[in-house]
Amino acid sequence: MKPATKFGRWFEQALAEHRLYRSAIRAAKEHALNCGFYLICAKEECRRGDWMEQLLAFCGEEIGQRTAQRYMQFATEAMEWAKRELGDVSALKLIAEAKRIAMQSPRSFTELMRSIGEMRAFGEYDAMKYRVKQTKNPQQIEFTFAFEDACKQLSALRVDERVAALAPASLVKLETELEQGLTHVRELIANKKAIES
**Is residue 29 within 8 Å of 109, Cβ to Cβ?**
yes
**Is residue 108 within 8 Å of 70, Cβ to Cβ?**
yes
- Classify 166 as helix, strand or coil: coil
Listed in sequence order, the residues at least 6 apart from 51 whose beta carbon sits closer than 8 Å to its beta carbon are: 43
**Is residue 38 within 8 Å of 112, Cβ to Cβ?**
no
pTM of full prediction above 0.85:
no
Written as tens digits, the pLDDT of the chain (197 aa) is 565 677 788 888 899 998 998 888 888 888 988 999 999 999 999 998 888 899 999 998 888 888 898 889 888 888 888 888 888 888 788 888 888 877 776 666 777 777 677 776 655 555 555 555 555 555 554 445 466 667 777 777 777 766 776 777 777 777 888 888 888 888 888 888 888 87
* Alpha-carbon gap, residue 127 to 188, rounded angstroms: 20
Torsion of the alpha carbons at 113, 117, 122 and 128, rounded to the nearest 10 = -170
* Alpha-carbon gap, residue 174 to 161, rounded angstroms: 15
DSSP state of 135: T
